[in-house]
Each structure stands twice: as C-alpha cells, then as structure tokens.
Amino acid sequence: MSQKVFFDGAFVPQELATVSVFDHGLLYGDGVFEGIRAYGGVVFKLEEHLDRLYASAKTILLDIPYGRDEMRDIVRRTCAENGLKDAYIRLVVTRGRGDLGLDPRKCEKPTVFVIADKIALYPAELYENGMSIGTGSTRRSRAEIINPQVKSLNYLNNIMAKIEANQRGWGEVLMLSEEGFVAECSADNIFMVKQGGLVTPAPHLGILLGITRQTVLELAREAGIATLETTFTRHELWNADEVFLTGSGAEIVPVIEVDGRPIRDGKPGPVTRDIIRRFRAYAPTNGVAI
C-alpha cells in the first residue's frame, strides 16, 4: 500500500505529493518545518511543536493557511491514514509557488504537507555503546544573521557541518558559536554532566530550543538533578563526567568521545542512562492521541 501524504488539503499517494519547481521553499529555503515523534499512538509534545511552528512562521511573516486546531487534526490524521502508532512526522510549510525572483510577495499561497514514516537516525548500538563526535569548522549562525530558533527550511549551515562529520567519520559534529563557545550539533542539542548535574548551552548562544532538550531539563529537575544553562568551552566538555545529545529524531544518544578525547571512562554514564530511561517512560504518555 502506498504511503499517504497530506498535501495542500488532501491525502494523496506519496508519488503524487510533489511541489512546483517554482516553490520558494525549494528555490530559496523559504519556509518552516517541525520534526515530531509519535510513540504508541501518542504524538509527543504536539502542542509544543505547534507553538514553535507558528512562532517560526510569524518571525518570517509566513501565514499558515490552517488554524492550530486544523493543523493538530491534520498531523493526527496523517498518522492514522498510514496506520502508524510509532512514527516520525515531518510537517512543512513553504512560502509556496512564486516566480524566479526573491520577492515573497510573488508567492500565491503557502504549500503545506505532512509526512508520517519510520525513522532510525542512528544505529541501535550507538544508544547502548555511545558515539564519537568532533568539532567542525562551520560555526553556528548568530541570531542576527539567521536566528537558529526559527526552524526554517534554510539548513545549509547545519548541512555544511554534517558534511564535515561524514568526511571525518564522526557520528555527529559539534558546532561552536562565533565566540568559540559550545553551541549545539548539526541536528541535536548537547548536554554534559558535571558533578551529577546537567549543563547545556544557554539559548543566547544561537541554538534551537529543542523540544527533547526542554523535556530532559524538566525530567532532570523532577528527579532532583541540578540543571544549568550557560556558556562553556570545549575544555569543559572534554573534561565532563558524561556527554549526551538530544533531538526529536535522535531522542537521547550517549557520547563517549569528543575530538579524540574519551569522556571519563569512554562508556555511557549512569546519569545519561537514567535520563534515557526516564524519557522512554515519559514520552508515550505525554502528547496528543492519534
């Protein structure tokens, strides 16, 4: 059975879900998106994802042609139409079809599509054994250039960093701020464990405020684990007790080596394992039912 995609008001077979070559999402990366997970028939933190989607669209003056209630129902129905209870959902809104010029006013109406499918961002063994990452030469964009808190279709900054990770054989690539502070990875937020507490880069460093990142902070606080959002350098990261990454696609992945330096004993640590356990118990019970 062909996978069904919600495309501009209807559910169509995936081979018919095609955008125009004049769509400004394709031509210029002009649009916004969300990557969302469903666990056991529950779309995880869907309200928070919709908050970020509409906030991103407002920042780039993109009018989403569906209200929030309609969009919530579209996401749920896309999973149901494909018989998926566990899924990765990609919700995309582009500026729509325009001409070859840059002016967004030439676009007739936004294009909206939602895909629900399976995803395995990293091999299963990495969640058990941990991954090695390295620092890339591509710096994270400053907020006044392209604000990383806007989850836009313009991901070239991240892609350039990911290319370097592929070339060097790293599982992920660490991106620094322009000032040289640890910011995030190409597709994930980053945490370190120091003296039993969690430390993660502060929002002002130009990071995406990840839904999984925020969930981990909440779970840690509920468990009595201290949390701190601040600036720190690779020196602090290299000497951390534990390191892990978070993201909707990745979930929570232990990091055992950074820039060739083993993190503590080179094995996933107890705090990381505890956070993973708490997240896996929490995710299927917090969201919107399909």
Sequence ranges of the domains in the chain: 4-117, 124-283
pLDDT of residue 134: 98
Q: How confident is the model at residue 120 (pLDDT cuts 50, 70, 90)?
A: confident
Domain 4-117: CATH class, spelled out:
alpha beta
Q: What is the mean pLDDT of the segment spanning 195-218?
A: 95
Q: What is the arithmetic mean of pLDDT over 155-175?
A: 96
What is the C-alpha to C-alpha distance for residues 35 and 115, in angstroms, rounded to an integer?
Answer: 10
Report how far Cα 49 is from the mean position of its chain's Cα atoms.
10
Provide the pLDDT for residue 144.
Answer: 80
Residue 11, pLDDT score: 98
Instruction: Categorize the per-residue pLDDT at 13 as very low, low, confident or very high, splitting at 50, 70 and 90.
Output: very high
The pLDDT tens digits for 231-258 are: 999 999 999 999 999 999 999 999 999 9
- Helices and strands, counts by H and E, the chain: 8, 16
Task: Provide the token pair at 90.
Answer: 């990609």
Catalytic-labelled residue, pool 4, 151, 162, 267: 151
Residue 85 a catalytic site member: no
Q: How confident is the model at residue 160 (pLDDT cuts 50, 70, 90)?
A: very high
Q: In angstroms, rounded to a whole number, what is the distance separating the alpha carbons of residues 31 and 279?
A: 30
pLDDT of residue 1: 61
CATH number assigned to the domain with residue range 124-283, chosen from the 4 options 3.40.50.300, 3.40.640.10, 3.20.10.10, 3.30.70.920: 3.20.10.10
pLDDT > 90 in the chain, percent = 93
pLDDT single digits (tens) 39-94: 999 999 999 999 999 999 999 999 999 999 999 999 999 999 999 999 999 999 99
pLDDT in the model for residue 145: 82
Q: How far apart are CA 124 and CA 122, in angstroms?
A: 6
Residue written as tokens 């018919």? 16
Write down the pTM of the prediction. Answer: 0.95
What does pLDDT average to over the chain? 96
pLDDT tier, 21 (very low <50, low <70, confident <90, very high otherwise): very high
For residue 267, is it left (φ>0), alpha (ψ between -120 and 50) or beta?
A: beta
Q: How high is the pLDDT of residue 142?
A: 83
In the chain, what percentage of residues exceed pLDDT 70?
100
Contact assessment for residue 25 and residue 19, using Cβ atoms and an 8 Å cutoff: yes
